[in-house]
Amino acid sequence: MCNSSHRERGSATVTALIVVGVAAVLLAGLMWRQQIQIRTLENARDQVQAQWLQRAAIDFARLVLVEDQRNSQIDHLGEAWALPLADGKVADFLKNTDVPDEIAAVTLQGQLIDAQSQFNLANLWDKSFKTINPPGVQEYGRLLDALGLDKSLAQQTAQGVLQMDMPIYDLEGLLKLPSYSSAILEQIRPFVTILPILTTVNVNTASTEVLMAAIPGLTRSAAGAFVQQRAATPLKSADEITTLLNKMGASQGITLDASLVDVRSQFWLARSEIRMGRGIFVSSALIQRSQNPLPSGNFTQVIWSKTGKVISD
């Protein structure tokens, strides 16, 4: 009788432990699902708020570019637009405004990059995108050569894209061509862009390699000296390009094509990185600036904008 009573109590204890264990598992599952739902809602909220901040950053960039045009008829790296925006809290920009704590703690960094400091792949074709533009192909070939790549890739690119009968809108589109690999793409990325129209290279902002491409016959050492000279005294007109080359003693063997170079720009790439909550939101936008009002009535317009990636834990 006593043994039977002990067995019943032991069985009840085991049953109770099983019930508690099952309840704990169910509760943990519910809490986990609830935590996932909370995380999902928080991430969605952060993404919407980040998009609003990104739009504000783009509007600020447009304002900077308009103000720059009012004060200067040339574009160079010593101007306000070229200064990167270091990590700064949103609260620092809204000191006299009440903002929620979660917004006040958000950090933002950004930068404007002169898109015409790079070679524009759209220059490989004419305005109608129906025929190859030989000067553009030659310019791209010189850039490839300066980068240690096969210059014949320029002609292959121009022909290959026409044969596909499909314009490329970003550099990743080049991977559709058999001549390109991811390694080549990463090698040319800092020096190449794709803009909606044919453009010149801004000699006040271009790199050594892009200058070698835009000015036929310019050596690497001369291009490096050119960059140093323009940092001290930005060029104010296309005529000053020849003047500077003569001053440097680097004009021999150079044929300057005025259709390839300029001292001002009309396209900029605006990049921003926003740290909010557990996420890092990276975005980019292409901004066009005009000397005359655009159809919208503004002097600037956003050609495209996108979030490159969203990172969250």
- The CATH number covering residue 95 comes to 3.30.1300.30
- 266 neighbors 300 (Cβ within 8 angstroms): no
pLDDT category, 194, cuts 50, 70, 90?
very high
At 288 the pLDDT is 97
Q: Are strands 192-193 and 300-312 parallel, antiparallel or unpaired?
A: unpaired
CB 180 within 8 A of CB 105: no
Number of domains in the chain: 2
Shared-domain flag, residues 98 and 188: no
Other beta carbons within 10 angstroms of residue 33's beta carbon come to 10
pLDDT band at 191; cut points 50, 70, 90: very high
- pLDDT at residue 41, rounded to an integer: 65
Those residues whose C-beta lies under 8 Å from the C-beta of residue 219, and which sit 6 or more positions away, are 212, 250
Average pLDDT over residues 7-19: 63
Residue scoring higher pLDDT (60 or 311): 60
> Is the pLDDT higher at 83 or at 8?
83
Q: How far apart are CA 24 and CA 32, in angstroms?
A: 12
pLDDT at 51 over 70: yes
Predicted confidence at residue 71, as pLDDT, reads 94
Any domain includes 6: no
Whether the per-residue pLDDT at 20 is higher than 80: the answer is no
| Distance in angstroms (rounded) separating the CA atoms of residues 33 and 35 | 5
Where do we find the tokens 């025929």?
Answer: 131
Please tell me whether residues 258 and 269 are part of one structural domain. Answer: no
- Say yes or no: 153 and 217 in one domain: yes
Do the bridges between strand 261-262 and strand 201-202 make them parallel or antiparallel, or are there none, so unpaired? Answer: parallel
Last residue of a domain, one of 246, 262, 278: 262
Instruction: Give residue-wise pLDDT tens across range 74-107.
Output: 999 999 999 998 877 766 666 666 666 666 678 8
The amino acid sitting at 22 is V
- Compute the distance between CA of residue 190 and CA of residue 207 in angstroms, rounded to an integer: 9
Which residues make Cβ contacts (< 8 Å) with residue 296, sequence separation at least 6? none
Confidence of residue 298 (pLDDT cuts 50, 70, 90): very high
Last residue of a domain, one of 239, 262, 285: 262
Please indicate, yes or no, whether residues 189 and 283 belong to a single structural domain of this protein. Answer: no
Domain membership of residue 82 as a residue range: 43-115+265-312
Rounded Cα–Cα distance for residues 217 and 267 (Å): 27
The pLDDT of residue 156 is above 90? yes
